[in-house]
Amino acid sequence: MQPLIRAFGKNSDMASVEFIPAQVRKEPGAARTFLRQLGKNRLGTLGAVLVLILLSSAVFAPLIITHDATRIMVGPRLADPSSEFWLGTDQLGRDTFSRMIMGGRIPLLVAFASLGSSLVVGLALGLIAGFGPRWLDNLLLFLFDTIRSFPGIIFALAVIALLGPSMSSVILVIAITSMPIYARVVRTQTQALRNSEFVAAERSMGAGTTRILVFHMLPNVIGPLLILVSMDVPAVIAVEAGLSFLGMGVRPPTPDWGAILNEGYSNIQQSAWLVIAGGIPIVMATLGFTFLGEALRDIFDPKLRKYL
């Protein structure tokens, strides 16, 4: 984790270099240091636990569920919880508990896919903007600003109107709208680094632009970027659940938290259990990832705040 802290550390290097060498090899493993620091952060620990629960329940979902999540009429309609149906049943007589457990897979998958692709594109465009000629930089910045001026969920709805409601539309829309911020952060840091002496040194040895970008810029910008991305996970889960809630996400009968919440909303006068089964996991997921993301930022990169 030393290198991560050093992300912006060019200025501090001179001051601190003198005392480090003696203890270098006595340092405990990076993972252990990180865990100890996370343990000190109470909210961070809570977040990590929540995230761990959600991730493992999504991964092992088929082993946990008690009924087939999509089979209708395994029980009565809108039943209250019982020993057979732990969280009751929905309006089609499907087991709510099983649907809730299976419903976590889509949001996590969407978050992973959309943020992953947005990270890659944002990184590439940010590096190009920060390292390329001035006109290209201005053009890209302008593009980023334009995308950022699109009105969030309303823009997402418009794209879905065009492409039709599906999981891939949701992934695409989230990837497009979250990219500009990543690209901007990468650009700012690349620009700060491009005039540093080590880049001049690499050039003086004959290194090409691609080599400098991939081997020397990338390792320096990826750390803060990953933290930013991790902090966006709750927002993505919220958007995915929201679109499913509006019926614009995954298609039925695929179980999904947002869809369960919507079914609960439609039947809110009869039973509150569906609303609880759909809403609580969303709250757990968004809070869990938020707390974890904040803790990650505080541990690795307290300076990141100013880039937002």
The window from 3-11, 65-73, 81-89, 103-111 that contacts other proteins (CB under 8 A) reads: 3-11
Under the criterion CB under 8 A, does residue 29 sit at the interface with other proteins? no
Nearer to other proteins, 64 or 280 (CB): 280
Which listed residue (29, 63, 83, 204) binds other proteins by CB under 8 A? 204
Under the criterion CB under 8 A, does residue 197 sit at the interface with other proteins? yes
Under the criterion CB under 8 A, does residue 15 sit at the interface with other proteins? no
Structure tokens given for 45: 């620990």
Stretch 31-60 residues interacting with other proteins (CB under 8 A):
43
Report the alpha-carbon distance of residue 221 to residue 86 in Å, rounded.
47
Alpha helices in the chain (DSSP H): 2-5, 10-16, 30-40, 42-59, 61-64, 96-102, 105-131, 134-148, 152-163, 167-194, 197-204, 209-211, 218-245, 257-266, 273-300
Structure tokens given for 157: 């709805």
Under the criterion CB under 8 A, does residue 20 sit at the interface with other proteins? yes
The window from 73-81, 82-90, 92-100, 211-219 that contacts other proteins (CB under 8 A) reads: 211-219
Chain mean position to CA 247: 22
Under the criterion CB under 8 A, does residue 178 sit at the interface with other proteins? no
The window from 49-57, 66-74, 80-88, 160-168 that contacts other proteins (CB under 8 A) reads: 160-168
CA-wise closest residue to 104 among 69, 79, 130:
69
Nearer to other proteins, 52 or 272 (CB): 272
The nearest distance, CB 141 to other proteins, in angstroms, is 10
Report the alpha-carbon distance of residue 274 to residue 78 in Å, rounded.
8
To which residue do tokens 């757990």 refer? 284
